[in-house]
Structure 1
Amino acid sequence: MKKSMWFFLFTLVASTMITLSSNNWVSMWMGLELNMMSFIPIILNKNNKSSAEAGMIYFLIQSVSSMMLMFMIMMIMIKYMMPNYIMNTVITISILMKLGAAPFHMWMPEMLSKINWYKSMILMSWQKMAPLMMMSNMNTNNIMINCAILMSVIIGSLGGINQTSLRKLMGYSSINHLGWMLAINKNINMWMLYFMIYSVMIMIVCQTFNKMKIYFINQVGSVNMNSPSKIILFIMMLSMGGLPPFIGFLPKWIVIQEMINSSEVFMMFIMVMFSLVTLMFYIRTMTNMFLLQNSSIKWIQPYKMNMNMFINLLVNMSLPMILIMDIL
């Protein structure tokens, strides 16, 4: 990796820390702008058409949302006589645009399809932290947030059904998980726990797909893998879908419990039902690998189980281990 990339990665982390540690709107806005100007050079690291398109998409979306945010900050600072609910609504829309939450989600899967797995991993995990923290500290309109939650869960589930690109599929999965995180956004400890577990899972999945050089669903069946590696990859995808007893079920379990305590049973029911749809397209992704005959060239060395795969298995099976230890 070039030295300049290390600099931009350092600035990316520092800008997020600036936003998280700020106590006023201007400092948060500065952190978000620095974050955007750090991530764009990382996207443009590869000099090709796809990276240029992805960088332009990211720049336009983030610029428009930052412009809306800064306009409302100026209105607040000059104490302009505008109803508070309008200011809160515009600020919420700008943050939802930065997150890629529905109905402002169209740029996210399209951009993910134009960048590699490592950049996708950063976009789906680290880049969400600062806007989520800003949303957590706001007195937002509950009706609007509830609409964003439901739309993110529904669109994130249905949008991934007919996808053949794994990066677009993971993008719609990220939108779905974002809806779950927004559902408990007022409890900072809970959404941070969800975010940490999701980030670990997404890093494992992106690292695995990058190592195997898989970008489309039809490539999954042609990868020459031994049986233990196939089983571990299948467990990873089930964990991403939130199937018990894997670790991906733990954050959804927390959200379900919190929403029952808050008497939001109807919304929780819709979220759980559409979570089954996401589980369906995760299983469909892995079906080709198990049921179809391997079409790879036989003299290519198979992808064998290594230390990374063992760590992946350990992470995904950590929830039942914790429960067994707790029972004992």
Structure 2
Amino acid sequence: MSFPISFFLFFFTLTLGSFISISSSSWFGAWIGLELNLMSFIPLITFKSKSLFSEAALKYFLIQALGSVLFISSGILSLSFYLISSLSILLSLLLKLGSAPFHFWFPQVMEGLQWPQIFILSTIQKLAPLTLISYLMNSSILIKMTILSSILSALIGSLGGLNLTLLRKIIAFSSINHLSWMLMAVSISDMSWLIYFIIYMFIILSITSVFHKLQTFSLSMLIQSDHNSTFHAIIISLNFLSLSGLPPMTGFIPKWIIMQIMLNLNLYIPLFFLLFSALITLYFYLRIIISMIILLNPILNFNMKYKSLTSFSSTLFFKSSFNFIGIIYPLYFIFI
């Protein structure tokens, strides 16, 4: 898929809006950055004139506009009613993130996007709201609300992904589940959520790159793709294992850091829900991996076209190599 020049222009203004929100010294400046970010992402969704893209753009615009109205209204009240205003700002940011219990729009919008836009929605679009939430973590009530939203996101993100065959919805519920870990990290440590976000961004980049190359949007399309190969099957499997946080893959490192901090703070009940949800997400990742690997066998494969065993893409391997850092990381402690 080739992108027009305007795509890169809007992508630049989108990232600029995120940085304006992060670096702003007032809620009004943060709101301007969020609006610039929103108005730059809409053209990125609808760069092809298809009804599915237009529907996703309309849903995204309405939800984000509702969140922006609540955000700027709460910012005005901050001078007189600080606690109520901060709570309303937190709720508006959770709505913009797609965190539970405001997650209802996220899988529906994700279903109408292409893989590059899915990467942007899962990563860059969450940077500014998460940073603004971290600025609010100076009240025990707001911290408890964030932890509650984290627990709900963990349960909904794991249970919602069961028995799905559409890859975009699986990635959407997976993103909601990973958002629960980020929200928990935001409430306890600024550095830990940033580490988690950066590692998650590289992992989701490798997954969306493979699916974008294969142009697959469902489990059946992935298995029967004419461009599928043993190399792609191995890369997808390792990416999903890293996304699930299974040791010794790279995705386990940020979860390990957050678990250590939560144990030190005696947050046993939230940690139980996060680990329980992680096991459920691992189940539906393994369901994809096992079915894909088994059907690579020519005897069991319904697609009679030859699957190349030597199809190799250095670009995809380079993008996915980040997932192997967790395997090499323990060697550091062996040799020091």
Whether the TM-score (by the shorter chain) exceeds 0.5 is: yes
Structure 1 pair 3–310 and aligned structure 2 pair: CA distance change class (3 A): closer
Structure 2: distance between partners of 1:228 and 1:53: 35
Name the CA distance, whole Å, in 2 between partners of 1:300 and 1:324. Answer: 35
Q: Return the match for 1:321 from 315, 322, 328.
A: 328
The answer to whether the Cα contact below 8 Å between 1:222 and 1:289 also exists between their aligned partners in 2 is no
Q: Distance in 2 between matches of 1:98 and 1:85?
A: 20
SS of the residue 1:184 aligns to: helix
Give distance in 1, aligned partners of 2:320 and 2:99: 30
Q: Deviations over 1:136-175 (max 9, x none)?
A: 0113512211210100000000000021210011000000
Q: Matches of 1:4 and 1:316 in 2, distance apart?
A: 32
Aligned partner of 2:245 in structure 1 is: 242
- The residue type equivalent to 1:251 in the other structure is P
SS at match of 2:183: helix
CA shift, 1:75, in A, is 1.4
With 237-246 and 264-273 compared, the bigger mean Cα shift is at: 264-273
* Secondary structure of 2:48 counterpart: coil
User: Which region of structure 1 is more displaced relative to structure 2, 43-52 or 290-299?
Assistant: 290-299
**Matching residue of 1:210:** 212
Paired residues of 1:158 and 1:277 also in contact (CA < 8 A) = yes
Superposed, which structure 2 residues align to 1:18-37 within 5 Å? 18-37=20-39
1:3, distance to aligned residue in structure 2 (A): 2.3
Inter-partner Cα distance in structure 2 for 1:165 and 1:34: 31
Q: Is residue 201 of structure 2 the alignment partner of residue 171 of structure 1? A: no
Tell whether the 8 Å contact from 1:112 to 1:167 is kept in structure 2 after alignment.
yes
Structure 1 position 320, deviation (Å)? 2.1
- Percent identity between the two aligned chains: 35
What TM-score comes out, normalization by structure 1 length? 0.94
Give the corresponding residue for 1:158: 159
Q: SS where residue 199 of structure 1 aligns?
A: helix
Partner residue of 1:87 out of 85, 109, 119: 85
5 Å-filtered alignment, 1:1-328, equals: 1-76=3-78, 79-80=79-80, 82=81, 84-138=82-136, 139-140=138-139, 141-186=142-187, 187-224=189-226, 225-292=228-295, 293-298=300-305, 304-328=311-335
Query: Which amino acid counterpart does residue 276 of structure 2 have in structure 1?
Result: M
Residues 34-54 of structure 1: CA deviation (Å, up to 9, x unaligned) = 100000111111101111111
Amino acid at match of 1:16: S
* Structure 2 SS opposite 1:267: helix
How has the CA–CA distance of structure 1 residues 56 and 282 changed in structure 2, closer, same or farther, with 3 Å as cutoff? same
Task: Render the CA deviation track for 1:172-214: whole Å, top value 9, x for unaligned.
Answer: 0000000000101042211111000000000100010110111
The whole-number CA distance in structure 1 between the counterparts of 2:148 and 2:302 is: 45
Aligned-partner Cα distance in 2 for 1:55–1:31? 19
CA apart distance, 1:313: 4.8
What amino acid does structure 2 have at the position aligned with 1:119? Q
Deviations 1:95-115 (A, max 9, x none): 000000000001111001011
The one-letter code sitting in structure 2 at the alignment partner of 1:182 is: L
2: distance between equivalents of 1:43 and 1:8?
A: 11
Gaps of 5+ in 1: none
